[in-house]
A and B are shown apart, each in its own frame.
Chain A
């Protein structure tokens, strides 16, 4: 490891939204940030502020209205889907199409970009899949079918799949929804552990601001007029979280780093 900071994702003057033939709906604009390699990055913001849109733009599910995204020094627009598949993997909120997949089958689909024309797994692929299962501690679930799993287990399986894809970056869209408090903390802690152990850059969006403050190296906070990206402690001292929600109902307590409901 060199002490030189390497930025793996660079976003400049990005504006995101939806474009139809007639009109352009801008969800957020003037977004600038850089993400360092090997960090855990949390993306927070109120509902409807455009977190998912930003993530969808970053993973090239939808195209940017304006501005530039570079991943590993390459412009996202000129990166082909197969190249991108080797650099970036995703965990989405959308439900699994086929719950009849076994855990091993599902995780091994992560090897898709590397396998031959018919998708045969080499021994190396199999060991990568097993490694991924081990990292997430679900080796014992290997032969289970997905419909037998709880939400928490399924989320771990999806993370293992992203790991098996062997990419430098993993993007997760709200990985903690539908989970209980314990599993929320467990999943985010797991993500933190993965960045440390594997050196991957992990970006996730979440509504668990308290947890994110405690675990993330960097946080991206989306607000109506601006998008800020910094270390959690800096963001607290700048008072960014105070203005995140209307103050009449909940307020941010800087000492504990958590939100309190106004009495």
Chain B
């Protein structure tokens, strides 16, 4: 009757730890495995290796875990809330909002004149612009969603916001220099590296708030599986739970996009993959499972992206799409219908 999920979770946790260590031990500089383990506990003779591990690889691996798990969870929340298997954190227009913010900072800086431009284009300004952009789009979606009852309409409105921002971005790119365009495109590739510990701390704080909010939404999410009217008849306050779910998603997806760029397919593919393997719709099981899967897949994608033992660093967004899109196709072919 009650399926025991202890073993799957145990196995996934072990795989996650393995991927974490694997991810840290791979890179352009080859460091012996024993030294990698040693450096985690702060006892390595070679100082360069120590610096590489603690300043570069460890922050990157932690970023990968937060990005993967966060995007997976926001995808799960959106798919249930919008009862749409195609929903992801980005259909709400959260990433388009972030892109718009970044585009205005990078591409629009030319319009503001020389001196201003150098001040504007720093890492922090991009983070702030992205957060602000996604937050503003979110506010707009929230304002609309309190008026529109139909969740499908909110989904379409999210897509429309996406189109509007895409249009503004292309207008901006028409007027900007090749250099600025390149910078914007690089941001669009997504990147898990280059986060300092301080940035990571801020990332972690906002991310945690989002995760805690989603944990508190678990019961409501399960009720929403029956549809709005049934959920209401079960005593669920539709308005407030919808608000909390959207707010949590935007916090998680917004910060991720701000710090790591728009990363595709993880939010869409991971929840479906998890449902296939865990064969349940109970969010109490799905939420931690999506967390683990998202983190594992992201660590693997990142390990592939840095092309082990070479100096190349492929754009992470390309890897996630290469991994994510086939997964979605495979799922569709296998069950002929996307169910959730």
Residues of A near any B CB (own CB < 8 A): 59-61, 81-86, 88-90, 92, 94, 96-102, 104-106, 109-110, 112-113, 115, 117-120, 126, 142-143, 147, 165
Contact B235 A109 (CB under 8 A): no
Contact A89 B233 (CB under 8 A): yes
In the complex, chain B residues whose CB is within 8 Å of the CB of A113:
234-235
Q: Which 7 A-B pairs have the closest CB atoms?
A: A85-B235, A82-B235, A119-B219, A112-B234, A98-B225, A100-B339, A113-B235
Which of chain B's residues has its CB closest to A120's CB? B284
Q: What are 9 A-B pairs at a CB distance below 8 A?
A: A81-B232, A83-B235, A90-B229, A106-B226, A109-B234, A117-B216, A118-B218, A143-B1, A147-B339
Q: Is B227 part of the contact surface with A, judged by Cβ < 8 Å?
A: yes
Contact B234 A99 (CB under 8 A): no
Contact B235 A112 (CB under 8 A): yes
Contact A85 B284 (CB under 8 A): no
Q: Is B57 part of the contact surface with A, judged by Cβ < 8 Å?
A: no
Within 8 A of A (CB), among B199-254: 215-216, 218-219, 222-227, 229-230, 232-237
Contact B280 A105 (CB under 8 A): yes
Contact A117 B219 (CB under 8 A): yes
Q: Min CB distance, B215 to chain A, in Å?
A: 8
**The one of B1, B234, B282 that contacts A142, using a Cβ cutoff of 8 Å:** B1
Which of chain B's residues has its CB closest to A115's CB? B219
Contact A81 B237 (CB under 8 A): yes
**The one of A99, A101, A119 that contacts B284, using a Cβ cutoff of 8 Å:** A119
In the complex, chain A residues whose CB is within 8 Å of the CB of B230:
90, 92
In the complex, chain B residues whose CB is within 8 Å of the CB of A101:
225, 281
Contact B234 A85 (CB under 8 A): yes
Q: Min CB distance, A110 to chain B, in Å?
A: 8
Which of chain A's residues has its CB closest to B224's CB? A97
A84, B233: Cα distance in complex, Å: 8
A88, B234: Cα distance in complex, Å: 9
Residues of B near any A CB (own CB < 8 A): 1, 83, 215-216, 218-219, 222-227, 229-230, 232-237, 275, 280-282, 284, 339-340
A127, B222: Cα distance in complex, Å: 20
In the complex, chain A residues whose CB is within 8 Å of the CB of B225:
97-98, 101, 109
Q: Min CB distance, A159 to chain B, in Å?
A: 13
CB contacts between A and B, total, < 8 Å = 84
A62, B66: Cα distance in complex, Å: 42
**The one of A92, A97, A120 that contacts B83, using a Cβ cutoff of 8 Å:** A97
8 more contacts with CB within 8 A, not counting A60-B232, A98-B226, A119-B222, are A81-B232, A84-B233, A85-B233, A100-B339, A104-B1, A105-B281, A118-B219, A119-B284
Which of chain B's residues has its CB closest to A130's CB? B1
Which of chain A's residues has its CB closest to B238's CB? A81
Q: Min CB distance, B76 to chain A, in Å?
A: 13
Evaluate whether A100 and B226 lie within 8 angstroms (CB atoms) in the complex, with A112-B219, A113-B235, A117-B219 already known.
no
In the complex, chain A residues whose CB is within 8 Å of the CB of B236:
81, 112
A210, B222: Cα distance in complex, Å: 38
A6, B225: Cα distance in complex, Å: 36
Contact A112 B223 (CB under 8 A): yes
In the complex, chain B residues whose CB is within 8 Å of the CB of A92:
227, 229-230
Q: Min CB distance, B94 to chain A, in Å?
A: 23
A83, B232: Cα distance in complex, Å: 11
Which of chain B's residues has its CB closest to A165's CB? B234
In the complex, chain B residues whose CB is within 8 Å of the CB of A117:
216, 219
A97, B218: Cα distance in complex, Å: 17
Contact A109 B226 (CB under 8 A): yes
Contact B235 A81 (CB under 8 A): yes
In the complex, chain B residues whose CB is within 8 Å of the CB of A100:
275, 281, 339-340
Evaluate whether A88 and B233 lie within 8 angstroms (CB atoms) in the complex, with A97-B83, A147-B339 already known.
yes
Q: Min CB distance, B280 to chain A, in Å?
A: 7
In the complex, chain B residues whose CB is within 8 Å of the CB of A85:
233-235
Q: Min CB distance, A116 to chain B, in Å?
A: 8
In the complex, chain B residues whose CB is within 8 Å of the CB of A143:
1
In the complex, chain A residues whose CB is within 8 Å of the CB of B237:
81
In the complex, chain A residues whose CB is within 8 Å of the CB of B216:
117
Which of chain A's residues has its CB closest to B219's CB? A119
In the complex, chain B residues whose CB is within 8 Å of the CB of A86:
235
Contact B227 A94 (CB under 8 A): yes
A143, B222: Cα distance in complex, Å: 18
A35, B233: Cα distance in complex, Å: 20
In the complex, chain B residues whose CB is within 8 Å of the CB of A60:
232
In the complex, chain A residues whose CB is within 8 Å of the CB of B227:
92, 94, 96-97
In the complex, chain B residues whose CB is within 8 Å of the CB of A88:
233
A92, B284: Cα distance in complex, Å: 26
Contact B339 A61 (CB under 8 A): no
Evaluate whether A98 and B1 lie within 8 angstroms (CB atoms) in the complex, with A118-B219, A119-B222, A165-B234 already known.
no
**The one of A59, A96, A115 that contacts B226, using a Cβ cutoff of 8 Å:** A96
Which of chain A's residues has its CB closest to B223's CB? A112
Q: Min CB distance, A168 to chain B, in Å?
A: 14
Which of chain A's residues has its CB closest to B215's CB? A118
